[in-house]
A and B are shown apart, each in its own frame.
Chain A
Amino acid sequence: MSKEIKQNFGPDEVLYRPIYETGKGFYITVSILIAIYFWSLYMYFTQVRSGLGVTGMNQPVTWGFYIVNFVFFIGISHAGTLISAILRLSKAEWRRPITRMAEVITAIVLAIGGLHPILDLGRPDRMLNLVSAGRLQSPLLWDVTSITAYFTASTVYLYLPMIPDIAKLRDRGGKLTWFYTFLAWGWQGTEKQKKILNKVINILMIMVIPIAISVHTVISYIFSMTLQPGWHSTIFGPYFVAGAIFSGIAALLIVMIAFRRAYHFENYLKEIHFKYLSTLLLIMSLLWFYFTFSEYLTGIFGSEPHEMHIILYKFTGPFAIFFWGMVVCNFIIPVILLGISRFRTIKGILVASISVVVGMWLERLIIVVPTLANPTMPLPAGIYFPSLVEWALFIGGIAVFILGFVLFSKFFPLISIWEIEEGRKEGIKEVEERIHSYLPNT
């Protein structure tokens, strides 16, 4: 019976399959993830009950894992919307199977990352003071505003291009028809509806790019607006944005490879997609190196004592292992694996992407902790060892991300079906016409 239905639904049936067929693996994954989630929730409650003392933070290292992970997760969130918007805007045809996944990463990771400052609060019960007595001069409030804007924009940007697919699910019947009817807003695929949707998506993709850039710029401002050496740097805005896109592409590649395997999307995510995206990753790696080089060279050349002290702390001090690990992960491994075509297989790309994600996390750690650990007053250097609670909340954050992604894949197609269809129907012709318009004398 089920086999017959499959045949009725055309060539893209494999994209529907994860929604209607659920294997044992799914339940095992989800229950493990939920268990991890509850464990981290319990750990958070111990922190709420007895105070931030259960973490490894102290004076002067007043910020630790929570802020590191906040910056890291928000960085990952630039995968989506930004990349998909740029690809849509540049009319890159190969974007079609990628955009949806990228946007899902953004929405989920942004929700997780955005909650991290709350984990960091000593008094989460007073969070509403931000509403009643907020100060818009504080970069923290800039963050609240821009992350809210980005979250709203990226969910809208995820949701609107999904409407035609939701309508397909609605018309298929079966599970949750009312839910899909609600979300489809009466999509029937008429010309007028298509026109409206395309118009709005076009406006959104232009709007989303500055919002996305503003988010990570503003996050870098948290640090660069203070007067602390190692933080007070004008390069931080673009440096953070470049790093965010860098880690975002890496995360996107990991997700693509994982779900390609789990849901058999080999026909949709072909080698060419990985090749193109990994080229982007390679470019971002070089860009990252350029920014890091500029940032540290200016510090070293000026040799301002406090600045130099922190740079040496990173280069040769207790953070040397993390610093050089970051350089290896963010630059050496990706350049070797992605620059030499022999290594540029899917496995190689996966290794490079994982190394970039790890490296970018290290970078956030290297930005946050050493500056705090070396106060400019002649005080002893601070030491920071993250406690079990902080590790638990970090692992919990990752678990929630995977959980969110897996659950999403059970309700909505991970690859935009209508865009693939549109590509088949119109894309080829359009590209041909476009190329003709570029070339002289055709």
Chain B
Amino acid sequence: MPKWAMVIDLDKCTGCGDCMASCKIENNIAIVSPEEASEGRVMFWMDMITVYEGDYPNIRIKRYPKPCFHCDNPPCVKVCPVHATYKNKEGLVGQIYDRCIGCRYCMAGCPFTSKVFNWYEPVWPEEFRNCFNPDVSLRNVGVVEKCSFCAHRLIRVRENADIEDREIRDGEYFPACAESCPTNAIFFGDIENKESKVYKLSQSSRAYRIKENLGVEPKVIYLSERK
């Protein structure tokens, strides 16, 4: 059974935000009005974290993309009262929008603040409505949503592999952010497969995970010379 993981090479990342934009379009994420966004209700599945290190004038800016970390020991799944968020055998942490009761316990329990909530009925500008991704369901008001590692792409990849009666090849399944990254900083693959690129990168001396001390075992690994 594969275990899907992501590696983000921060030494390559320019912080351009292309991953955020492609994620928003790929997953039909609602466009929140500027007033709502300023109240802290902005919807990103792939977020960009900016850290300012040091004092003026010696400031160093560190930016890194932050999807859902698809923890192997997910604290959000443990607290969900209705099986609306779950971890499947391939390590993907999913969200069942039609079952979620909107208690937001998973958001409160997530150490990485990776989940977003539909505070109002989601809205899109007309241009967006014409180019919805048919593979991803639209959400309703009052449910929690988050990055799915573009699980809908996995379904398609698996169907192709099944037709050709083979295993999924390394690098065949990747989410929209990895596809759109202009500097190829995002890698995606099966971390259980010792031959995969992701596995090799995860063994790099530059590799680290965020908040490893919590023991939630995130499956997003960052590569960086400076930590």
Contact = CB atoms under 8 A, between A and B. Distances in A.
A133 B120 contact: no
A318 interface: no
Contact of A59 (B105, B107, B214): B107
Interface residues of B, number: 46
Interface of B: 36, 39-42, 49-51, 66, 75, 78-84, 99-105, 107-109, 111-113, 115-121, 140-144, 210-211, 214, 216
Interface stretch (A84-92, A225-233, A264-272): A225-233
A399 B144 CA distance: 32
B49 A58 contact: no
A51 B83 contact: no
Contact of A122 (B39, B49, B118, B211): B118
Contact of A376 (B103, B111, B144): B111
B214 A227 contact: yes
A120 B103 contact: yes
The interface centre, meaning the residue of A52, A123, A227 with most chain B CB atoms within 10 A of its CB, is A123
Interface residues of A, number: 43
Interface of A: 50-53, 57-63, 117, 120-124, 126-127, 129-130, 133-135, 137-141, 144, 222, 225-228, 372, 375-379, 382-383
B102 to A, nearest CB: 2
Given A129-B99, A226-B109, A377-B66, A123 B82 contact: no
28 contacts: A51-B118, A51-B120, A51-B141, A52-B119, A52-B142, A53-B119, A58-B40, A59-B107, A59-B117, A60-B113, A121-B103, A122-B141, A123-B102, A123-B141, A123-B142, A129-B99, A137-B78, A138-B81, A138-B105, A222-B105, A225-B78, A227-B109, A227-B111, A372-B108, A376-B112, A376-B211, A378-B50, A379-B113
Nearest to A117: B103
Nearest to B211: A376
Nearest to B40: A58
A139 B79 contact: yes
B107 A52 contact: no
Say what secondary structure dominates the interface of chain A: loop
A129 B113 contact: no
A118 B142 CA distance: 13
Given A138-B78, A226-B75, A52 B109 contact: no
B141 A62 contact: no
Q: Which of B84, B103, B120 is the most central at the interface, judged by chain A CB atoms within 10 Å of its CB? A: B103
A50 B121 CA distance: 7
A133 B121 CA distance: 25
Contacts of A382: 40
Contact of B103 (A60, A122, A133): A122
Nearest to A383: B40
A56 to B, nearest CB: 8
